[in-house]
Structure 1
Amino acid sequence: MIALTGATGLLGRFLLDGLPSQIMTLGRRPLAGYAHRLWDLSGAAPELGGITTLIHAAFSHVPGRYRGGEGDDPDGFLSANLDGTRRLFDVAAKAGVQRVIFLSSRAVFDGSATGVPLTEETPPNPASLYGRVKAQAEAHLAALPLIGQSLRATGVYGPGPGHKWQALFADYLSGKPIPPRRGTEVHGADLAQACRLLLNDNGTGPFHLSDLLLDRHDLLTEVQRLTACPHAPPPPSDRPVDPLICTRLPVLGWQPGGMDLLRADLPAMLP
């Protein structure tokens, strides 16, 4: 059986839709139709008997923020997200869980100089507390006697309540000024596809998960096309962004949806 943390979060809905059946959720709130065990990052680790794969997507943070998600409580942020994750991984190893898939982040490289190729062999160099938590949790997992797979994902987008561009689209359509920006993105369905592939692979360590290098100018040009919004999109960003170099997942057959998938789902993300 697969156990999933973070099932009620922004990533959880994509994982529940894209993973095989026989999923047990671990968290504070049960979901209709799924077996559930009560658990919280800040508390004791859950009972994991009978679990063969653990997918850890839960993260405690200020709403809407990952970098800077500690708010004014860095100690609590560390206690929940680092100590709580370590407890969870340790109990998984003791319970005989065969595989742990950990949702990490490209934030493990935030301190790297521009122009450094971000391969799966590049040593982490976090600059934020968020990135530090992810890097240290990765290292803890790698030392345990099980198949530990860390998915270093870029920004995850896709339709659903509270999706990542909800406020951006509302601001643009209302005529508020939008600062230029570009970043790396991947669809939540492509995240779920990656997890499915890892269920049948015994490779360990980090796997990079990224699809688009997306400029707000291009994204909001698509929104303007769909809505006939009279406001001009922001100019293209001149900020350099180093993409994650994804080598290991494509070898397993991973094929992200690219701009076609973004355009197909964009209408469902508009207010």
Structure 2
Amino acid sequence: MRLAITGGTGLVGRFLVNEALRAGDEVTVLTRRAPEGGFFDGEVRHVAYDLDGEVPELAGADAVIHAAFDHVPGRYRGGEGEDAAGFLARNLDGSLRLFRAAERAGARVVFLSTRAVYGPQDGMLSEEMACRPDTLYGQAKLKAEQALLASGQPATILRATGVYGAPGPGQRHKWADLFEDFAAGKPIPARAGTEVHGDDLAAAMRLGLNGTGGVFNVSDLLLDRREMLAEWQRLTEVSGDLPPAADLGGYNEMRTDRLRDLGWRPGGWGRLTATLGQMAGQSGFPPKRA
């Protein structure tokens, strides 16, 4: 399969590119800068692309995976900073241009969306519920979803939760600052959130590439920061102070029945602990016995 992947050099995009390479796909990465040699697990073609620019020629692509998103570094919610208009022009208008180009090329679209499209809700988040995003990030993603579905072109939308995983060369993983603060003895506030490993997100992407269309939640763990840091402490012997346990009672988990009915099986706590061990090794901590 010939794939064009936007945002492939990001923390999340790298998992999608590497899955495609493992599957034997021919991958073109659409990013502002070409990846460094060895960044991916195989060779890719690079075409310069920016969300606020013209879309490169997509003729010949079987599918377009759209994972690019322009935002203030480290922030999705609030990622517009002081430039709301520019944020929408790049992320919403840019996505719509990409979708139209994919349609002209006859390419399927797999769109990486977000749980932020739901906004404040009661109970479990399911794909059937009415969305009411309360951030510009969620609003931009939802409008792009709606336009893609209304176009009638073959498409799969993945509403992903937070994505974790070991970083690639030159990258920092999403918890790097947290682990550094923990080791420095800084107070860590209680917090919980839903997470999914990048490889499990890539497995959901593959279902979309194989022709499964529609909207799908992609989530695995409801993770208490205290539990994760306790495991990190076990692996590294860092002697930071664990935060209090988070209140999980009112947190909205995501239903993933639609994906699971298709055979999708995320890695759960086992994959998380293995990844923390990998991160510990990358950080220079000696491996510990399980």
Structure 2 counterpart of 1:39:
49
Q: Does 1:26 align with 2:30?
A: yes
* CA apart distance, 1:143: 1.2
Structure 2 counterpart of 1:135:
142
Residue 103 (structure 2) aligned to one of 93, 117, 120: 93
Q: 1:41–1:81: 8 Å Cα contact kept in structure 2?
A: yes
Q: Which amino acid aligns with 2:241?
A: A
- Separation (CA, whole Å) in 1 of partners of 2:244 and 2:140: 34
Residue 154 (structure 2) aligned to one of 141, 147, 159: 147
SS at match of 1:11: helix
- Separation (CA, whole Å) in 2 of partners of 1:126 and 1:110: 4
Q: 1:208–1:244: 8 Å Cα contact kept in structure 2?
A: yes
Which is further off, 131-140 or 234-243?
234-243
Q: Which amino acid aligns with 1:132?
A: Q
* CA apart distance, 1:203: 2.5
Residue 131 (structure 2) aligned to one of 124, 137, 140: 124
Q: Which amino acid aligns with 2:134?
A: A
Structure 2 counterpart of 1:197:
207
SS at match of 1:78: helix
Is there any run of 5+ residues in structure 1 with no aligned partner, and where? none
Percent identical: 51
Name the Cα RMSD after superposition: 1.3
Structure 1 counterpart of 2:288:
none
Q: Which amino acid aligns with 1:60?
A: D
- Separation (CA, whole Å) in 2 of partners of 1:111 and 1:130: 14
SS at match of 2:116: helix
Q: 1:184–1:210: 8 Å Cα contact kept in structure 2?
A: yes
- Separation (CA, whole Å) in 2 of partners of 1:52 and 1:146: 13
Task: List structure 1 runs of 4+ shifted beyond 6 angstroms.
Answer: none
Q: 1:215–1:236: 8 Å Cα contact kept in structure 2?
A: yes
Which is further off, 167-176 or 28-37?
28-37
Residue 212 (structure 1) aligned to one of 221, 232, 239: 221
Please give the TM-score of this superposition, normalised by the length of structure 1.
0.95
Q: 2:133–2:139: 8 Å Cα contact kept in structure 1?
A: yes
Is there any run of 5+ residues in structure 2 with no aligned partner, and where? 38-42, 284-290
* CA apart distance, 1:8: 0.7
Please give the TM-score of this superposition, normalised by the length of structure 2.
0.89
After superposition, the C-alpha distances for 1:29-88 in whole angstroms (9 at most, x for unaligned) are 223521222211011122110111000000000111101111111111111000100111
Which is further off, 150-159 or 194-203?
194-203
